Structure 1
C-alpha cells in the first residue's frame, strides 16, 4: 500500500492551524484474538503494530468484551500473507490464522500525528523543513528560514501541542548581539514567559532567556572543560554568562573569578551561585568588559601570586575560559605584556591554560582557528597550542572551535627569546593599556 496511507492529506499550505482538517478515515488491518491468548500473541505481532501518537495498538473489540483487537500498520501489512511465514506459523500454534485477520475503518485525528508528520504534510515540498530546534526549559527556540516565516503561527502552535514540556515557542529574529550575547526574539506561540530553569552538570540554572545567552548544545563542551579542572585549581571565566563553567567549577572547589559585561548575565550568575549553594570563598563575580577583567583582575592575581600573597596547592593550575566565539580571540592581545616586571614574573611556577573559542570559516577549520589565535595574540605560539577541538557545526563550512594553549611568561612579559633574533624581541605592540 502507498506510504501516504498514514499521512495527513489536503493540508498543504495551511498557515493557521485547523485541527479539524487533519481528520482521516483509513482502512487498517487487525487481528481479532481472545483475551486469554493475548499475552502469547502480542510479542509475535509487535513488529507489525500500528504505532501512532495517543493511540493504543491493542484495544477491546467493539461489542465483544471477551476479545481484543490488535491494530497492524497498513504500510507494513495489507493481507495475511504480508506477515512473515515464520510469524504466521507461530500464530497458528495459538490457533490464530487468516480467519482472525480482517480490516476495519479507523478515524485518525490531529492528536494521532507527530509534529514531524504534520510539518511534512503542511510545509512547502522540496524545501528545508523545521530540521532542528533548541529546548531551554519550557521554551523552544527556532531559527526559521525565510520560506517558513509565513508558517510561524502554525509551526509554533503545533510544537506547543505536541511537546509536553513546551509552553513557549520563540523565533530568533536577528543575529546575536556581540556586546551582551543575546538576540531579539518573537513569541510565535504560547506564553510570553522567558524565565526558565535548566539543569546542567548537576547544577540548576535560572535566567531570563530574552536577556542572556544560553545554548543547550554546549552542555557537553561545558562538561569537557569541567573535567579538566581539579580541586584547588583556579578558573578565570572571562565571558561567563550565567555561569555554566563558573558555578559547577566553584561547586567542585576550584577558586573561580567569573566575569560578564551583560548586567543581566551578572545578575543571574550571582543568583545561580547562591541558588546552587556555592561557597563564597571559592567564587568572585565581576561585571566588567573582558579587557578590563584581564588587565586588572587576572593581572593582579598573577602579580600577587608571584609576590607570595596568593597560595595554590601543589600541582594546581590556572585556567582561563573565553567563550565568546564571535570575538574572544580579539581579547588575547591584552595578555601580552600585562606584567612588565620580569624578575617578579620569574617566580610564576604554575601552568596557565587558556581555552579560547572562535568561529572558523573554511575548508580547514583547524588551521583557520590556529591562525586566528596566533594573529591576535601577536606572536607564534604554535609550540604552546595543546589542542584544537571542533565543538559544533554552526552552518555549512562554519565551525565553532576551541583552541587550548599555554599562556607563557614570555607572552605575559611582552618579550620573547629567540636565538636567531636579538635577545629580546618585543611582541604585542597593540597593547592598549599600561600596567
Structure 2
C-alpha cells in the first residue's frame, strides 16, 4: 500500500532527516528509499516546503528485545522462561527450571540470536559449593569456552566462569564501597576472587592486600593487575585465617555472605582502630540486620574491641524471603 513520502536530493538527506524527526512526522517503522540522486523519506503527514510523493516503503524489521520472543518451546511452558540471566563478558549463564532443561539448546540459540555480543551460553548445573565456591556449568549453545573478559566500573576482569566465583550483580555495591574509600588507605580484601573489589579499590588505595584460597582466582587476579595496570595490589594465595592479624588495614572487605560470620575474629584483628569493615551476610526478611549486629558485637567484645555500625543496606534478594545484606561498621 502506497504511503506519503518526502523527496529530497541526496546531499540534503541528513539535514532533512533530522528536521523530520524534530517535527515528529518521520515514519521510523519504514526504511528510507533511494531513487537515483534522490532520497524519499516515509512520513506520517505532508510537510510544507517539501515535494510530497506517493511510494511503497519496506518495513523496518524490528529486532526482538528478549530471547523469549523467538525461542521455540511448548506454549504451556512459556511462562516458566526466566526473565533474566547473568552476562559475564561475552558469556551468558542462565538458570532453568527442570521442565525447561530439555529445551536448553533452543533457549541458548535464542539468546545468541537476540544478544549479538554473547558468544557462549551455559546453564547452571548445580548450586555454588565447595571451598572454591564454584558451580557446574552445562553448555547450551555457542562457543565451548568458559574464559572471558568482563568489564565493569571502568575496569577489566579476566576470569574463567567454571573455575572461579564471580557475580556481575554486585557491580553497584562494589562502586559504593569504592566511593566510600579514602585516598591512600591500606585495604584488606579477605575473599578477593579475581579482584573486582581489589582492582577497583587500587585506583584509590595506597595498598590492597587481596587474599583467596582458590589458586585459579589468584592466577586471574595476577593477570587483572597487569590488565588494569595497578601495581599496588598484593595477591595472597591461602587460608585467610593464616593471614589475619599480620595486616593492619584501614578498610576490610568481607564479601563471603554465607560464611562471613565465621571470619569476624580475623577481620577485626586485621583492622586498625577507627578502621571500617564492610561485612556481607544472608538474612531472612523478618530479621535483616539484628542477628548479624549481635554477632559482630559479641566477637568484638571477646577481642576487647568495640564497634559502631555506620551503614546498613539490602544489597539484593537472594532467595524467597532471603536477602543479601551489607553492614558497614567501624572498629575501635
Q: TM-score, normalised by structure 1?
A: 0.64
**CA RMSD after TM alignment:** 3.6
Secondary structure of 1:157's counterpart equals: helix
Mapped contact 1:330–1:376 kept (Cα < 8 A): no
- 1:238 & 1:186 partners in 2: Cα distance? 30
**Is residue 2:145 matched to residue 1:221?**
no
Q: What do the CA deviations read for 1:181-216 (whole angstroms, capped 9, x no partner)? A: 211101100111111112233332212121011111
Q: Give SS of 1:247's match.
A: helix
SS in 2 for 1:384: strand
Partner of 1:44: 24
Out of 226, 242, 246, the position equivalent to 1:300 is: 246
What SS does the corresponding residue of 1:181 show, helix, strand or coil? Answer: coil
Bigger mean CA deviation after superposition, 260-269 or 372-381:
372-381
2:236 pairs, out of 279, 286, 310, with 286
Which 10-residue stretch deviates more, 220-229 or 236-245?
220-229
**Would the aligned equivalents of 2:315 and 2:323 in 1 still touch at CA under 8 Å?**
yes
1:245 is matched with 197
* CA spacing shift, 1:187–1:374, aligned 2, 3 Å: farther
Aligned-pair CA distance for 1:126: 6.6
Q: Give the match for residue 288 of structure 2.
A: 365
The Cα of 1:92 is off from its aligned counterpart by: 6.9
Q: Is 1:321–2:244 an aligned residue pair?
A: no
Aligned 8 A contact 2:307 2:331 in 1: no
Unaligned runs of at least 5 residues, structure 2: 10-15
Deviation, structure 1 residue 323: 0.4
User: How is 1:54-65 mapped onto 2 (pairs within 5 angstroms)?
Assistant: 57-60=30-33
Structure-2 separation of matches of 1:122 and 1:49 = 34
Following the alignment from structure 2 to structure 1, what is the Cα–Cα distance between the partners of residues 158 and 242? Answer: 27
Once the two structures are TM-superposed, the CA of residue 232 in structure 1 deviates from its matched residue by 2.1
Change (3 A) 1:94 1:277: closer
Preserved CA contact (<8 Å) 1:31 1:69: no
- Measure, in 2, the Cα distance between the counterparts of 1:269 and 1:275: 10
SS at match of 2:202: helix
Q: Would the alpha carbon gap of residues 174 and 373 (structure 1) be closer, same or farther in structure 2, given more than 3 Å must change?
A: farther
Change (3 A) 1:100 1:230: same
Number of residue pairs matched by the alignment:
322
- From the two aligned structures, give the one with the greater helix fraction: 1
Match of 1:36, SS?
A: strand
Match of 2:12 in 1: none
* Residue number in structure 2 paired with 1:12: none
Q: Residue deviations 1:314-349, cap 9 Å, x none?
A: xxx71110101111111113457x59xxxxxxxx97
Distance 1:64 1:300, change over 3 A: closer
Q: Tell me how far apart the structure 2 counterparts of residues 385 and 152 of structure 1 sit (CA, whole Å).
A: 46
Shift of residue 175 of structure 1? 0.8
Indicate how the Cα distance of structure 1 residues 59 and 330 shifts in structure 2: closer, same or farther if over 3 A, else same.
same
Deviation at 1:376, TM superposition (A): 6.2
Q: Show the counterpart of 2:151.
A: 199
CA 1:349–1:372 in structure 2 vs 1: closer, same or farther (change >3 Å)?
closer
Structure 2 residue 116 is matched with structure 1 residue 164: yes
Aligned residue number for residue 4 of structure 2: 32
Q: Quick one: structure 1 residues 130 and 64, their matched pair in 2 at CA, closer, same or farther if it must change by over 3 Å? A: farther
SS in 1 for 2:144: coil
Paired residue secondary structure (1:154): helix
Aligned counterparts of 2:282 and 2:272: Cα–Cα separation in 1: 32
- TM-score, normalised to structure 2, is 0.81
> Which runs of structure 2 are paired with 1:7-406 in the superposition (5 Å)?
31-36=3-8, 39=17, 43-46=23-26, 49-50=28-29, 57-60=30-33, 68=40, 70=42, 91=46, 93=48, 112-114=63-65, 115-119=67-71, 124=76, 127-279=79-231, 282-294=232-244, 299-302=245-248, 318-334=250-266, 350-371=273-294, 373-374=296-297, 384-406=308-330
Q: What is the rounded CA distance, in whole Å, between the counterparts of 1:126 and 1:391 in structure 2?
A: 30
1:241 partner SS: coil
Q: What CA deviation, in whole Å up to 9, does each residue of 1:369-390 have, x standing for no partner?
A: 4345456667699961111121
Bigger strand fraction: 2
Distance 2:50 2:183 in 1: 67
